[in-house]
Amino acid sequence: MFVAWRDLRFAKGRFALMGAVITLITLLVGLLSALSAGLARQNISAITGLPADRIAFAAPGPGRSPSYGDSTVTARQWRRWAEVPGVTRAEPLGITSTKATAGDRSAPVSAFGVRAGSRLAPDGGAIHDRTAVLSAAAAAGLGGLAPGDTFALAGRRLTVAAVAGDASFSHTPVIWTALSTWASVAPPGAAGTAAGPDAGATATVIALDTTAGADVAAADRAIGTRTVTKDGSLSAIGSYASENGSLQLMRGFLFAISALVVGAFFTVWTIQRAGDIAVLKALGASTAHLLKDALGQAAALLVVGTLLGTGIAAALGALVVPDTVPFLLTPATVLAPAAVMILLGALGAALSVRRITSVDPLTALGSAR
């Protein structure tokens, strides 16, 4: 790094310009990552927070994928799932979007129907036909409801049993209700029309706790469901799949642009230094020594630029972005993109400085080099 540090100081204008570009791209990636994570949390936190490892959907038609919007499972199906060897728990879960009203305040919410006492809901033991558990955002959106207050869910009057958790689904806060309450507020198609002893007893999906011994595929065929992992089920949330896909595509392009910009800069820089490199090789500098020097220089520039960009992104997120914008600042949303930026930038730099290996020291001899 003997030459690298001195080059950084000597050509500080050029390196400052490149550092500023890296800082700005990192800032953009950082903001986008935090926004993506915030939006994703609003979309999926109710599902990712479920105490289950698999989700069973009603088997979709041929060539179609499972969807939380289309699925309807029956009581017979979740009872059969509960009897499958290796399945420790099978809990029905009804999901629908509706409107809640308290006084003159109303808000769009997601109603999650569970059986009384179900572990799926926070404070599930407090959920009965006339009570509900509200997520903190739902309670706040309805004017700050507290336990004992009443509100209307799609016209059905309920009492707040508890305010717990921050679950949200498809950008709306979750209200946990009894499965029967959910059935009464869900659209007829969603609540189903089962006959006999199971009349009205339907749900959207079945949340499963399984062990390694569970033959999920065989059970799916026998019961008429399609079971996926909990994380895999996120793509069954229509808004999440399209929204997250777009944001991740943008982020991926930014990473690629960053690698290309860094690679282009160091390509030009290495070409400009080809004469110096030839002299150093003629004087006895090994190629490994020169590569280490050049890559160290690139790494220093990347680390400083990325840390600056990450710091600005974190400061903006903490101090400037309003509460209404879903912006999630965590080590994963701030540091992971920074690490990827450094890795991809280093890859771009490595590809460009590899031309050091092809510089012929013989060109240092003679007047024209």
Partner 1 sequence: MSLDLSDVTLTYPDGDDRLTALDHVTLHVPRGTLTAVAGPSGSGKSSLLAVAATLVTPDAGTVSVDGVTTTGLSRAELTGLRRRTIGIVFQQPHLLPSLTALEQLQLMASIDGRSPAGARGRALELLAAVGLADRAGRRPHQLSGGQRQRVGIARALMNEPTLLLVDEPTSALDHERGAAVVDLITRLTRERGTATVLVTHDRTHLRAADRIVEVDDGRLGDPPSGSGTSVGYRPQGGVTATMSG
Determine how many CB atoms are found less than 10 A away from the CB of residue 93: 28
> In terms of CB distance, is 116 or 364 closer to partner 1?
364
Asked whether position 279 contacts partner 1 by CB under 8 A, the answer is yes
H-run or E-run covering 90:
strand 87-102
Query: Between vectors from CA 184 to CA 220 and to CA 170, what angle results, nearest 5°?
Result: 65
CB of 290 to partner 1, least distance (A): 9
361 lines the binding site for partner 1 (CB under 8 A): yes
The residue to which tokens 């979309």 are assigned: 43
Please pick, from the candidates 10, 85, 125, 245, the single residue that binds partner 1 as defined by CB under 8 A.
Answer: 10
Among 85, 144, 252, 275, binds partner 1 (CB under 8 A): 275
Nearer Cβ to partner 1, position 7 or 243? 7
- How far lies 296's CA from each of 3, 5, 16, 286, in Å? 10, 9, 16, 15
Q: How far apart are CA 153 and CA 130, in angstroms?
A: 11
Q: Which of 161, 183, 281, 333 binds partner 1 (CB under 8 A)?
A: 281
Binding of residue 160 to partner 1 (CB under 8 A): no
Within 10 angstroms of residue 67's Cβ, the number of other Cβ atoms is 17
Span interacting with partner 1, options 84-92, 132-140, 281-289, 314-322, rule CB under 8 A: 281-289
Longest dimension (CA), the chain: 99
Shortest distance in whole angstroms from residue 299 CB to partner 1: 18
Chain-centroid distance of CA 329 in Å reads 12
| Those residues with Cβ within 8 angstroms of residue 146's Cβ, 6 or more apart along the chain or in another chain | 139, 160, 163
Candidates 1-9, 31-39, 151-159, 302-310; binding stretch for partner 1 (CB under 8 A): 1-9
- Cβ closer to partner 1: 53 or 276? 276
Residue of 152, 274, 282, 291 interacting with partner 1 (CB under 8 A): 282
For residue 301, the minimal CB distance to partner 1 (Å) is 15
Decide if residue 3 touches partner 1 (CB under 8 A). yes
Nearer to partner 1, 25 or 277 (CB): 277
Choose among 33, 19, 27: nearest CA to 313. 27
HSE at residue 224, side-chain half, CA atoms within 13 A, is: 11
167 — phi, psi (to 5°)? -65, 140
Closer residue to partner 1 in complex, CB, 324/367: 367
Site track 284-303 with partner 1 (rule: CB under 8 A), x = hit: xxxx-x--------------
Q: Which stretch binds partner 1 (CB under 8 A): 30-38, 40-48, 277-285, 320-328?
A: 277-285
**Residue 156: in which H helix or E strand, if any?**
strand 156-163
Q: Could you tell me the smallest distance in angstroms from the CB atom of residue 9 to partner 1? A: 7
Residue 356 token pair:
């050091």
Among the listed ranges 83-91, 240-248, 276-284, 329-337, the one in contact with partner 1 (CB under 8 A) is 276-284
Instruction: Determine which residue in the list 24, 118, 283, 319 makes contact with partner 1, applying CB under 8 A.
Output: 283
Strand partners, 151: 158
Stretch that binds partner 1, among 98-106, 127-135, 165-173, 361-369 (CB under 8 A): 361-369
Q: Are 111 and 185 in contact (CB under 8 A)?
A: yes
Q: Give SS3 for 269.
A: helix
Determine the Cα angle at 121 with ends 48 and 111, to 5°.
85
Q: Please choose, from the candidates 38, 330, 30, the residue with its C-alpha nearest in 3D space to the C-alpha of residue 166.
A: 38
Does 76 help bind partner 1 (rule: CB under 8 A)?
A: no
9 touching partner 1, by CB under 8 A: yes
Residues that bind partner 1 (CB under 8 A): 2-3, 6-7, 9-11, 275-276, 279-287, 289, 361-362, 364-367, 369
